[in-house]
Structure 1
Amino acid sequence: MTVGRVLVVGDVITDVVAVLDGPLAAGSDTSAAVRVAGGGQAANTAAWLAATGTPVTLAGVAGDDPAGDARLAELTAAGVTSAVRRAAGAVTGTIIVLSTGADRSMISDRGANLLLRPADVDAALSADVVHLHLSGYALLDAASRPAAAHALRTGVPASVDAASAAPLREIGATTFLQWVRGCALLLANADEASVLAGPGHPADQARTIAAATGGTAVVKRGPAGAVWAAADGTVVELPPALAVEVDPVDPTGAGDAFAAGLIAALLRGASPLDALAAAHALGARAVTTIGARPPR
């Protein structure tokens, strides 16, 4: 089945991923498996979309440095059409990821991602784009926020990934939900959903978020499945019994793979339950390898 193109807007990052062999020994040494590879929520989602056979373009900004060369080469090899601007004198963003296999913490240098402009979004739009996916990081950073807001005003149906609980908490749920009002789909993990909708059952959180945006909302629950809610209050749950069970190695990029699987399935006409199942399967695949991108 032929589907239209997805435009993904947001970050291009170098990930330095350390999967720790045990608890972090503060002030001392901890052994780990360390990998350096492409990352960034938007770039990861674009790579996973390409892996599903979905035509995809990435709009973002990278530095004019060797890291930027490497990141764009990886995306091209993955089948992503690049509309990434190279910013003279800027450095490509870098994230240090400390992973325990089941969870991860990130130390971020946003780098050239802060230079994203509305014109970068416009330059990436093409007549065959049928869906736009926005990394929430672009909204959460004040410098790139005008470009992110512009992306949501292009008239193309849009999805937004809520990105990260800590900066969401700093911005505030009311403000963020106002920014994304009108988007077709908002994705949040359990921590992000608690920030946006308060504590409670995931189905209730999803309903609250959907009502606030006027679209649909998905709460990702890892191995516990996922919940979909529409603005009219309809809820569809992917229970743990239907979720794919794997032995996790590194969760980095799992949420990005989930988003890609969900979008790809919906564009192919899948029902909400089938789309959740496809998304969860792709997310489960992501946690079985080190790093945020599809294994090659």
Structure 2
Amino acid sequence: MSRILVVGDVMTDIIAVPEGPIVKGSDRRARVRSRPGGSGANQAVWLGAMGADVRFAARVGADDLEYYEGFFRQRHVSPALIGDAEQASGALVTIVDPDGERSFLTDRGANLNLCSADLTVDLLEGISMVMVSGYSFFAPKPRLAVRALLAEAKARGIAVAIDPASVGFLEEVGAANFLEWTEGADWLFANESEAETLCAEAEFEAQMSALGQRFGNVVIKRGRYGAALGGKDGVRLSLPAPIVTVLDSTGAGDAFAAGFIAAHLAGQAEEAALGAGIAAGAKAVQSIGGQPA
């Protein structure tokens, strides 16, 4: 079985679902839950739930190391975690609107200290693909570490996949910089907003062609419109999404990427892989939180 290495953030997700619009300066009843999250962690757990052979590399607070190692093993993920003695594990506050859209407040904590010593080349042994969350490129230390690991992966002929992860952080670091750091990856998984930020094209077919000049294969996640797959010659496959009730869109993109990659590494054709990604994303939005219910 093909094995995938996922590199990315581990976060504690604090999810707030208000009963109505937030009242500035006053109270609003809400349902508040806390659970493990983070883009990389979400992808790894979804992959594990789909039966993929997955290893996950990340940094967490030292006090949480034993807990998270057990958490991932229970979800069929092989953890390669480092405990940070200085920073606590990352935390993310998610506020879910009535329509399922969400806003984030992020404290990346120990994730900011991910370094080259954490991502040693032995992590690549037996690996068929390396999947890196875009969050790992948004701070200098983790960026240096993942770029070195990806260079070694490419030298070994291991496929590389990138998920841009955050429009807000892409705008902070600059699209041109992000493209320089990631150009040449075999796969890019972006939603339409991320794709537009990266290439300054508003229409998804133009986004596909533009990004295909820099990445081997481009998958654009289109939410309720489904998803498309292509490259430098444009869109070669597009599939619709099923109509479902959206409770929370947190982690839908992570689930999509996991569904696609699990099917792809299992040898399924592009149409089947794209369909598996769409099905996983649709399943994700029907429950609260970024990981399988």
How would you bin the TM-score normalised by the shorter chain? Answer: over 0.9
Number of residues paired by the alignment? 288
Question: Any conservation in 1 of the 2:159–2:185 contact (CA below 8 Å)?
Answer: yes
Question: Any conservation in 2 of the 1:83–1:123 contact (CA below 8 Å)?
Answer: no
C-alpha spacing 1:236/1:125, structure 2 compared with 1 (3 Å):
same
**Which deviates further from its counterpart, 39-48 or 168-177?**
168-177
- Consecutive unaligned residues in structure 1, runs of 5 or more: none
Following superposition, the deviation at residue 234 of structure 1 comes to: 4.8
- Consecutive unaligned residues in structure 2, runs of 5 or more: none
Letter in 1 for 2:22: L
Following superposition, the deviation at residue 69 of structure 1 comes to: 4.1
Question: Any conservation in 2 of the 1:13–1:93 contact (CA below 8 Å)?
Answer: yes
Letter in 2 for 1:159: A
Structure 1 residue aligned with 2:200: 198
Question: Any conservation in 2 of the 1:59–1:121 contact (CA below 8 Å)?
Answer: yes
Q: How far apart, in 2, do the equivalents of 1:227 and 1:182 lie?
A: 20
SS of corresponding position for 1:61: strand
Following superposition, the deviation at residue 237 of structure 1 comes to: 1.0
Q: Map 1:277-296; keep pairs closer than 5 Å.
A: 277-295=275-293
Question: Any conservation in 1 of the 2:150–2:160 contact (CA below 8 Å)?
Answer: yes
C-alpha spacing 1:121/1:107, structure 2 compared with 1 (3 Å):
same
Q: How far apart, in 2, do the equivalents of 1:44 and 1:26 lie?
A: 32
Structure 1 residues 28-51: Cα deviation after superposition (integer angstroms, max 9, x where no partner): 222222110110100110000001
Alignment match of 1:253 (pick from 211, 234, 251): 251
Structure 1 residue aligned with 2:134: 136
Structure 1 residue aligned with 2:110: 112
Following superposition, the deviation at residue 26 of structure 1 comes to: 1.8
Following superposition, the deviation at residue 244 of structure 1 comes to: 2.2
Q: How far apart, in 2, do the equivalents of 1:20 and 1:47 lie?
A: 27
Following superposition, the deviation at residue 235 of structure 1 comes to: 2.5
Structure 2 residue aligned with 1:217: 218
Q: How far apart, in 1, do the equivalents of 2:24 and 2:271 lie?
A: 43
Question: Could you tell me the TM-score, scaled by structure 1's length?
Answer: 0.92
Give the percent of matched residue pairs that are identical in Structure 1 and Structure 2: 39
Alignment match of 2:12 (pick from 1, 11, 14): 14
Q: How far apart, in 2, do the equivalents of 1:134 and 1:221 lie?
A: 20
Letter in 2 for 1:93: G
Structure 1 residues 189-221: Cα deviation after superposition (integer angstroms, max 9, x where no partner): 1211110122322121122111123x1111111
Question: Any conservation in 2 of the 1:7–1:124 contact (CA below 8 Å)?
Answer: no
Where in structure 1 do 4 or more consecutive aligned residues deviate above 6 Å?
none
**Which deviates further from its counterpart, 170-179 or 33-42?**
170-179
SS of corresponding position for 2:141: coil
Q: How far apart, in 2, do the equivalents of 1:178 and 1:188 lie?
A: 16
**Which deviates further from its counterpart, 192-201 or 181-190?**
192-201
Alignment match of 1:84 (pick from 81, 84, 87): 81
C-alpha spacing 1:190/1:232, structure 2 compared with 1 (3 Å):
closer
Following superposition, the deviation at residue 273 of structure 1 comes to: 2.2
RMSD: 1.5
